[in-house]
Amino acid sequence: MKVLPFSDIKTKFINYLMSRDKEPIVITQNHKKIAMLLFIDDEDEMERLELNYSPEFNKIIRESKDQISNSKGISHEEFWKEVED
C-alpha cells in the first residue's frame, strides 16, 4: 500500500489512475490520513463497498438485528414460506 501526500495526488492523479499498479493508495494531508484510493475491477465489490458506507442500509441492518434480538423476528421456515407465496 502506498502512502502519498494530497499535493502529490492532486498534481499526478491521472498518472495514478492509469498506473498498472492497482494497490490501494492512502492519501495524507499534513501527515494525517484523510482518504484512500481503491481500484475496483469487480462490480460486486463496488456494490458491497457502497452498501457498507450507506447510512440507510446500515440503519436497516441495525433495526433488523434489534428486532431479532428482541425476539420479533420470524423463523427460517416462515421467511421462506413468505418468499414463495
Place 1 in a pLDDT band, splitting at 50, 70 and 90. confident
Helices 55-69, 43-52: axis angle to 10 degrees equals 70
* 49 and 27 inside one domain: no
Q: What is the pLDDT of residue 33?
A: 95
* 46 and 84 inside one domain: yes
* Residues contacting 53, CB < 8 A, separation 6+: none
User: What's the number of domains the chain is made of?
Assistant: 2
* 59 and 29 inside one domain: no
Domain of residue 15 covers 1-39
Question: Mean of the per-residue pLDDT values for the chain?
Answer: 87
Per-residue pLDDT tens for 47-74? 999 999 999 989 988 888 888 888 777 7
* 50 and 77 inside one domain: yes
| Average pLDDT of the residues in 3-15 | 87
Whether 81 has a pLDDT exceeding 90, the answer reads no
Look up residue 20 and give its DSSP letter. S
Whether 46 has a pLDDT exceeding 80, the answer reads yes
* 35 and 50 inside one domain: no
SS3 of 45, please? helix
